[in-house]
Chains A and B, each alone.
Chain A
Amino acid sequence: MIESIKSFMGWFFVTGDPMIYGADASIALASIGIVAVLTYFKKWKWLWEEWLTTVDHKKIGIMYIIAALLMLFRGGVDALMMRAQLTLPNLHFLDAEHYNQVFTTHGTIMIIFVAMPFIFGLMNIAVPLQIGARDVAFPFLNALSFWLFFFGAMLFNLSFVIGGSPDAGWSSYAPYAGAEMNPGVGQNYYLIGVQISGIGSLATGINFLVTILKMRAPGMTLFKMPLFTWSILITSVIVVFAFPAFTVALALMSIDRLFGAHFFTIAAGGSPMLWANLFWFWGHPEVYIVLLPVFGIFSEVIATFAHKTLFGYAVMVWSMVAISVLSFITWLHHFFTMGNTAPVNAFFSISTMLIAIPTGVKIFNWLFTLNKGRIQFTTPMLWALAFIPNFTIGGITGVMLAMAPADYQYHNSYFLVAHFHSTLIAGTVFGIFCGLHYWWPKMFGYLLDETKGKWAFWIFMISFNICFMPMYFLGLMGMTRRMYTYPAGLGWTPINVVMTIGAVGMGVGFIIMAYNIVWSAIHGKKDKTGDPWDGRTLEWATSSPAAEYNFAHIPEVSTRDAFEAMKEAERKGEADSKKPYAPIHMPSNTGIPVIMSAFMFVAGFGCVFEWYWMAIPGAIGVIACMIARSFVYDDHHFIPVEDIERTEAATGRLS
């Protein structure tokens, strides 16, 4: 009996590596610490009422961002571990199996659990405010999306200490990722953790599509929307059309692994290449799901700090539309080398190159927004400015990779790795840091410290170049991605040393940023006006942080840069007189999303281990929650006029 328990524990928990035990200990300590603090300060009720059950888009946005920052830390530690292992030839800091798990979790976490939630967080915070709405179209669904993401991420991360991490790469190519060559629970964690959070992403896409289409303030026609809102509208369309394909791909591989089907197996007629097609049919649009929103952020920030309207607004919008359409017809460029015929490769080469045209147009429009502007070098502006040259390098190497015969030489090498980090870091990461600094006062009512923010920026940005510029050459030298070590004598060592130095520098930059967040929480400059940056769009027209109902009066819009126009009118003394308040209809908090997602977690965990005694009750719990929700009719409340007056007076907005 005891023996069998022992052997079960040895299999259930990941054992044998001091780093894992360290992680076990720190996870246990952190959990105990959190529980202890919450209990000591009697904060359980607060946590439940203010956060776990909230349907307020601003709070959900903040939770997304906190979770994404934590995941960024984990993904960053993964990256540093990889760089440590590769600094010198033949190191044994990590063994092959461990290294394989680390690069798999690094990629998956950075894309699915950092980039996506960070963007979802920023759009939750900014979009309803930018369009002058009181919440998103489906607040309940919004909370559900967040909790599905959160529990999906938790499930995925659990693999580190229980059962073992996936090791087939974030792209999980069949047949290697199949049960035959990859037994154990690691790959199941990937499939099911990502699936759960992916369902949440799809719901977010639908939610924001409807929000933006149907809930804009009166007068805000589509072509008067802020660029960030435009980018989210287009991104939502991509999400709605790309994610179902991924849902299917993940489900099919799960069925392969759990029920012995043969979609992607070697045996019984399975087609490994089908996986590559399905994965990248989602995977390539996914790149634009995490890029278009930051294009939107940069457009806002550059216009704000150049103190000019965006140059070529209509072209900026149409170029995003063009990119979104093209993003669905380029997926094959991820496997030019998988035996396609020349005409097929030619088609996808050209369709991929075409993406450079709208993207190039955007770069020039940003440059010409700066032109004749009054440029103010704030921290968010620095991130936006650094994006332009750094992302251009990612873009031009992208065109080089698009040329199929040349891609035969770049594919799967560090040239490719350097390219997608040039786009995803200089694009997405710079963008989310930019957005974070920009909207931070709107989220919390105080500003992040500028000096520390700039230190973090310079160190991170320069280190990024130190890490990734040499990587292009490493790729041309023949080093391929996902190698856990390399022999001496190939000339790769000096470059690897430099890259590791750069990676450490990026880590330092991130730590300074984290320190800045903590420091500013205590000493940060308060934002009493609600408009710390002299903003141009409606989110700055309300207090910081915005009241639960966002706007006491729904603003009326007549032009682009609506808030700038309002301020202009006020300067001319044309401000309209105050109207009386009316009671505001708001959705009520609900515990169903978090409970339902927790059931999903239980069901998912059961599926990972093929414990159907656990999976089935979990699934029943999910369905029960859906039914329960269907019978809830009392899901909203009214904020009385007195409360509105009190809130507005407290922020000094009642004249």
Chain B
Amino acid sequence: MSALAIENIHKRYGEVETLKGIDIALESGEFLVLLGSSGCGKSTLLNIIAGLAEPSGGDIRIGDRSILGAHPKDRDIAMVFQSYALYPNMSVARNIGFGLEMRKVPVAAREKAVKDTAKLLQIENLLERKPSQLSGGQRQRVAIGRALVRNPQVFLFDEPLSNLDAKLRMEMRTELKRLHQMLKTTVVYVTHDQIEAMTLATRIAVMRDGRIEQLGTPEEIYDRPATLYVAGFVGSPPMNILDATASQGQLRIAGDDHTIDLPSRLGGAVADGQRVKLGIRPEALRLAGGSEAGPQFRARVEVVELTGPELVTTARIGEQRVTACLPPRSSVLAGEERTFTVEAEAFHLFDPESGRSLAKG
């Protein structure tokens, strides 16, 4: 029995189908991130789980009961909104305790629960304030507190960090991870930020056009992207996608004369003369010293950007752009023609038509 089961969920608004059959089963304590660009249906799915929207088809179960048609308050869920959605006319303490107040929890028990939650989130000194007197990060903590205090089966987060500035976002991300490790709750978390997804999730569902492109652990999503879309969406800078042609166990990158030996695990996946998309993560590329074996290609360096921890180098192979994340002290200058090398294990091959990965398993 899974903690949360989403079964073949469809959602239509008139002619437009925003969700086209979503299936996910979550074990208790899992942290699922729904990742996708805006309009992919991730928020709609979250609202359906919350009961703020009704699906056109399919079923959702929490524990062993279907919650379709149940009022949001009867679903044993709590939700944190992007806009925090705090009650501006109530104190922080009452905001946090509101759910308990509505459920007629006795005052003493309620106050204790509010206090414990505030302590957990380190906002005890703010309990008497109004939301308008809080900073963005503090408001976010209150919103999380309001969800935590009720101790529900499933937590829903709708882009909770996107209203915060970059530094605070990192802090709150770590905070969320800490809370999840401590409380071991089941979480569904919507975001378009792939770093949030990678760092927080135990599993990521990459969504696109109302479908799940890939459902897997962060490692699977990063190391073995199932489609070109996933490959391009996860990772920053995004994966290099190069046009190439396979012939006799070798790959020829369009615009480069060299051929590269196909790693044996990919050898059987492509036919002779087949055109493929070759994916290489920027961080997998290195400058060749001259003596290495292994796949190599030459490219003309166009732009070199030092970000601090790494040197982001943009180069060209013929008409194709390649980005490489090199160590910060690499000696590379704009305008040079350089040889880059990469482990054959870091190759990803995709079918250019379907966009699906050609790797087996």
A, B from the same assembly: no
User: A-contacting residues of B (Cβ < 8 Å)?
Assistant: none
Binding site for B on A (CB under 8 A): none
